[in-house]
Structures are given as C-alpha cells and as structure tokens.
C-alpha cells in the first residue's frame, strides 16, 4: 500500500484516478510503474547534476589516496573542495597544490578541470541548439 501511495505522488495520479484505475483493472503493474519512475528520473537536468556530482565524488576519493596526496596533509573535505573547484572550473583551493599533492594528484586535478570544462561547454552548446 505504501508503494502504491508513493507511486501516486511520483506519477502525478490523484487518489481518485488511482481508485478508478484499480476498480476497472487498468492499474499498471509494478514493472511498468518502475519504468515510468525511471523515465522521470533521467531528465537532462538530473543527468547534468548527477554527472557533475559523480565526477566530483570520484575525484575527491582519488585525491585522498596515498599516491595522489602526501599522507596526512589532505583531508577528505579538502579533497572534496579541491575536486569541486576543479570540476566547476573555478581554480580555488584550500591547500597548496604543488606541495600537498603528488604529480599524480596534480594530473587528477587537471583531468577534473578538463572534464568540468567539457561538461559545461557541451551542455551550453546543447542549450543553444534547442
């Protein structure tokens, strides 16, 4: 019953429409409801936000590894801020990039910067085409 009420809210069906569909036997099956929910989750806006969040989190985890940063110098919060700044192409940092990150860490930051710039330019080009 809880899943049915949740799907009513997500799918935009009122309770009276739900009861009518239930009475007439036209109610969608569980698999159909999940497919409808999935189609509403993969909008361009959620893909943009999810893609940026995914790249930021992967970059932060990579920057906290011992081969990317000198041990004890970079916390996860510092790595998260650095990865977010690199992906959003702002260039801000709270640690000294040259002293606290190894060569591999600096390469990761450059790759994050390039991925962020590519994502921004790709979505900007798509927005101007629409």
Torsion of CA 78, 80, 83, 85, to 10 degrees: -80
More confident residue, 2 or 101: 101
More confident residue, 99 or 126: 99
Place of tokens 């994050």: 112
CB-CB contact of 93 with 85 (8 Å): yes
Q: What is the mean pLDDT of residues 33-60?
A: 77
Q: What is the mean pLDDT of residues 102-118?
A: 93
More confident residue, 88 or 127: 88
Place of tokens 């702002």: 90
Q: What is the mean pLDDT of residues 50-61?
A: 92
Q: Is the pLDDT of residue 67 over 60?
A: yes
**pTM of the predicted model, to two decimals?**
0.66
Q: What is the mean pLDDT of residues 82-90?
A: 92
pLDDT at 10: 47
Beta-bridge partners for 101: 69
d(CA 106, CA 130): 37
Highest average pLDDT, of 34-38, 90-94, 98-102, comes from 98-102
Q: How does residue 29 score in pLDDT terms, banded at 50, 70 and 90? A: low
């Amino acid at each position: 019953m809880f899943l049915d009420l949740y799907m009513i809210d997500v799918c935009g069906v009122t309770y009276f429409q739900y009861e009518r569909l239930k009475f007439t036997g036209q109610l969608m099956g569980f698999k159909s409801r999940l497919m409808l929910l999935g189609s509403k989750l993969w909008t361009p806006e959620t893909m943009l936000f999810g893609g940026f969040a995914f790249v930021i989190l992967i970059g932060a985890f990579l920057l906290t590894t011992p081969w990317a940063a000198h041990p004890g110098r970079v916390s996860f919060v510092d790595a998260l801020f650095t990865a977010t700044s690199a992906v959003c192409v702002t260039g801000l940092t709270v640690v000294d990039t040259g002293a606290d990150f190894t060569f591999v860490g600096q390469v990761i930051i450059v790759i994050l910067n390039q991925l962020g710039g590519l994502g921004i330019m790709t979505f900007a080009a798509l927005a101007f085409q629409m």
